[in-house]
Amino acid sequence: MIQITLPDKSVKEFSEAVNGYEIAKSISPRLAKDVLSVSVNGQVWDLTREISEDANVKLYTWEDREGKETFWHSSAHLMAEAIEFFYPGTKFGIGPTVDTGFYYDVDLPEGKQLSEKELQKIEQKMLELARQKNDIVRSEISKEDALEMFKQKDDELKLELISELEDGTISLYNQGNFTDLCRGPHLPNTSYIKAIKLTSIAGAYWRGDEHNKMLTRVYGVTFPKQKMLQEYLEMVEEAKKRDHRKVGKEMELFGFSEAVGQGLPLWLPKGTQLRMQLEDFLKKVQKKYDYDQVMTPHIGDVKLYKTSGHYEKYGKDSFQPISTPAEGEEYLLKPMNCPHHCEIYKWKPRSYKDLPIRMAEFGTVYRYEMSGELHGLTRVRGFTQDDAHIFCRPDQLKDEFKKVIDIIFIIFKALDFENYTAQISLRDPDNPAKYIGSKENWDKAEQAIIEACEEKGLNTITELGEAAFYGPKLDFMIKDALGRSWQLGTIQVDYNLPERFQLEYIGADDNRHRPVMIHRAPFGSMERFVAVLIEHTAGKFPLWLTPEQAVVLPISEKYNDYAKKVSNFLNISDIRTVVDDRNEKIGRKIRDNELKRIPYLLIVGEKEAETETVSVRRQGEGDKGTMKNSEFADFIVKEVRDQLSGLYN
């Protein structure tokens, strides 16, 4: 008998070899209809692939990331088949899945080009091929035969990929008239794909190397139901309206300058105010948890990052060293804050009574990103992390870890992030070379995270291979107002940097001991966090956070002085207020300032000037009546206090 163990630890027995589809069918007909792929002992397989011995099995549907990846991986092959139909002789590079769909890099025959207007005919061909219900069949051949096969096709792209694979069997997948090199997994057949949208075309250097040939990259997305595609397209349109680059420009928050350089954002006064509000908020929370603020340089000696291991792992992604020939020194623009904090810890001897030591810094770091990868604030070359490092005794680790979880929950509550998943990111047991440090320390770190999450009652998922190179971590995956997932908030346990930097404290036994290090960044990077926050709120921030809480709109120039008087009074009351005294009609002023997402519009004219009042208009809600200036100030202060109630206590 073959024993199949499911995630709930229940066991199903089969008298002979079985596949994922048959396992799903034995559970329920509905599951058999929805299942897309199967995990066998941690590896994702085709549903039709035979399982011939005892195994731990998990079934994936569209609701699972692995299910979507299988669906979109098969869709990339379907798109390649359609492209080959219209452009025989096309050479195919790689066709991976991405967060929302897939792409394929293709080398079209000489003289052929693919334009946006031709995507629709490829979509139609894909639908035609999908309806043929062609089986997607896996086969295995030797590396030698694979090289010969693609040599016959004169496909140097695939030959390059195959030549780098280890000797042994290589998997191919075939559907209809199309065969491709691929490790899988794939859908059982093409009929699962019911709705298709090819979204864009871009140029892409082969394997991301600007010295290689430029290929055509075709992006697409597919769904098992037409209704899902329609909902997705509506979401895309809404996302365009919320795009942080568009909203940031309308609200005058940030910008970029070619003269300054790519991927280096310039924070305008209103954007700077927004960042300062976020920083002040977190500083108050950190004060409650006894953090000390520190500051470190923007550069560091290369040897510092070699000691930490960052240079070996990320040296290629850093800006190249700054040399000082006269002194024979080499410096890097700081890619990480943690090595600097380790040196602060070493500044003086530490006792077990001193621990935990909690250091926090809004530290700007620099990473070299290819220009083609840059995207607004979400992918930049210089960014500020809300970084902190906790140095504690092993017996303090779990409690300190749980306190960081508490801080992250305070932030989520303040910013109305309600839909999240806690992901425990562990090392890949099959690839130990990716990580530094001993197995013993990794085991202790992973166990501490798992126990802390259990004690906090978190619903978690576990992902193997997603740990940082120096330690496991807990990542919080947030869903925004459009249902998109973002990684915000991370906590990492690290036994390795204290070892590399030889950090010590004197224990109660008068012996030297190593502290444990916790890395944490609730926002992650300020740039990326602001981008996510803009798109989540469409720029309509909570009142406590918004750069300008009120704008005074005089109905004519005669009331400009009174408008400034109101603004001064409110600013003295710590209400961020501006005056729009342009020579424009009041209707135009209202429209323009609503576009800037200013929460309160205060209209003043003859009546208001005589009675020391303002006519209040709330963004998106309309008129709120007339209030005395002091009454409005009290109203705003109460609203802000209610929004932050209990968060600092």
pLDDT digits 0-9 by tens, 156-201? 888 988 888 888 888 999 999 899 988 889 999 999 999 999 999 9
Query: How many angstroms separate the CA atoms of 492 and 475, rounded?
Result: 9
What are the residue numbers of the active site?
338, 367, 385, 387, 389, 473, 519
Q: What percent of the chain shows pLDDT beyond 70?
A: 99
* Model confidence, pTM: 0.81
For 129-158, how does the pLDDT look when each residue is reduced to its tens digit (9 = 90+)?
A: 999 999 999 999 998 898 988 888 888 888
Nearest alpha carbon to residue 564 among 523, 614, 518, 515: 614
Amino acid identity, residue 418?
E
Domain-by-domain residue ranges, the chain? Answer: 2-61, 66-240, 254-294+337-537, 297-335, 550-643
For 73-105, how does the pLDDT look when each residue is reduced to its tens digit (9 = 90+)?
A: 999 999 999 999 999 999 999 889 988 899 999
For domain 2-61, the CATH superfamily is Beta-grasp domain (3.10.20.30)
**Residue 394 contacts residue 545 (beta carbons within 8 Å):** no
- Let me know if the fold of 66-240 is the same as that of 254-294+337-537: no
Tell me what pLDDT residue 649 has. 60
pLDDT for 628 beyond 80: yes
**Residue 542 contacts residue 558 (beta carbons within 8 Å):** no
CATH code linked to domain 66-240: 3.30.980.10
Q: Which strands form 382-392's sheet, in the order they lie side by side?
A: 292-293, 357-366, 382-392, 516-521, 485-494, 473-479, 420-426, 460-464
DSSP for 132-179 reads TT-B-EEEEEEHHHHHHHHHHTT-HHHHHHHHTSPSSEEEEEEETTEE
**Average pLDDT for the chain:** 91
Residue 415 CB burial class (10 angstroms; 0-12, 13-18, ≥19): buried
pLDDT for 648 beyond 80: no
pLDDT for 433 beyond 80: no
Tell me: is residue 389 an annotated ligand-binding position. yes
Tell me: is residue 186 an annotated ligand-binding position. no
Residue 179 CB burial class (10 angstroms; 0-12, 13-18, ≥19): middle
Lowest mean pLDDT among 65-69, 247-251, 324-328, 507-511: 324-328
Q: Does domain 254-294+337-537 have CATH number 3.40.50.300?
A: no
Q: What share of the chain is helix, strand, coil (3-state, %, to 5)?
A: 40, 30, 35
What's the token pair of residue 593? 């300032």
Domain range 550-643, its CATH number among 3.40.50.2000, 3.30.1330.10, 3.40.30.10, 3.40.50.800 = 3.40.50.800
